[in-house]
Chains A and B, each alone.
Chain A
Amino acid sequence: SQQGEEDPQALSIQEGENATMNCSYKTSINNLQWYRQNSGRGLVHLILIRSNEREKHSGRLRVTLDTSKKSSSLLITASRAADTASYFCATESRAQKLVFGQGTRLTINP
């Protein structure tokens, strides 16, 4: 069953602009993670935010978590062509397992 739902499903922006992706989930969580996937490749972990955290930064990435709304957002600032990829949120609610959303396909136009 799907826990996380990303929005939008696809996003196309110009290089240098900021990209924002959202994730909503249904049940209480231990943590929420964001992953990136280049076409035809495995997933790469970007950032993990725990349920008692509200915001986290890593380089050009900023993640927020609102447990009252059961939602998270991933902001990529000053986007680059190399940021083109699919981005997935994943939630951990049951021990040892993550549940992934359907992903947002981000395209950065040069």
Chain B
Amino acid sequence: SQTIHQWPATLVQPVGSPLSLECTVEGTSNPNLYWYRQAAGRGLQLLFYSVGIGQISSEVPQNLSASRPQDRQFILSSKKLLLSDSGFYLCAWSQGLAGGSTDTQYFGPGTRLTVL
């Protein structure tokens, strides 16, 4: 069966510090991978998605970047955090279907980031 891991679960960082959040998927190959951010009491904002190694699409211009160094590893980074980067970060995967249609997305447990 497939599983998705995210770490750390919670993180408190000062403004201006770097960030690295990691997401890994097990039990599948060549998944589509996604990073979302969720503000308190709000919906999900898609930040990045990847359909393969080294292929990253950015949805929202911002202070963050993403990388996919391995097939099942997705990393969210920042060189200098801003207060506005605080939020709940969720990683998800899906099995891309023929024709490019997205099937169900499976979410990790999330990382709660607080920037002080």
With an 8 Å Cβ cutoff, the count of chain B residues facing the other chain is 29
Cβ 8 A contact of A88, one of B44, B100, B112: B44
**Does residue B86 face the partner (Cβ distance < 8 Å to A)?**
no
Known: A2-B43, A97-B49, A100-B43. A42 touches B90 (CB 8 A): yes
Q: Give the residues in chain B near A44, CB-CB below 8 Å.
A: 107
With an 8 Å Cβ cutoff, the count of chain A residues facing the other chain is 25
Number of A-B residue pairs with CB-CB distance less than 8 Å in the complex they form: 64
Interface residues of B in 76-116 (CB under 8 A from A): 88, 90, 92, 94, 96, 99-110, 112
**Does residue A30 face the partner (Cβ distance < 8 Å to B)?**
yes
Q: Give the residues in chain B near A30, CB-CB below 8 Å.
A: 101-102
Cβ 8 A contact of B108, one of A42, A95, A99, A100: A42
Known: A97-B46, A100-B43, A103-B43. A92 touches B101 (CB 8 A): yes
**Does residue A56 face the partner (Cβ distance < 8 Å to B)?**
no
Q: Which chain A residue lies CB-closest to B99?
A: A95
Closest CB in chain B relative to A107 CB, distance in Å: 14
Contact B51 A43 (CB under 8 A): no
Q: Give the residues in chain B near A98, CB-CB below 8 Å.
A: 46, 102, 105
Q: Give the residues in chain A near B110, CB-CB below 8 Å.
A: 40-42
Contact B104 A33 (CB under 8 A): yes
Contact B102 A99 (CB under 8 A): no
The 9 closest A-B pairs by CB, nearest first: A95-B100, A42-B107, A102-B43, A100-B44, A43-B107, A45-B104, A100-B43, A92-B102, A42-B109
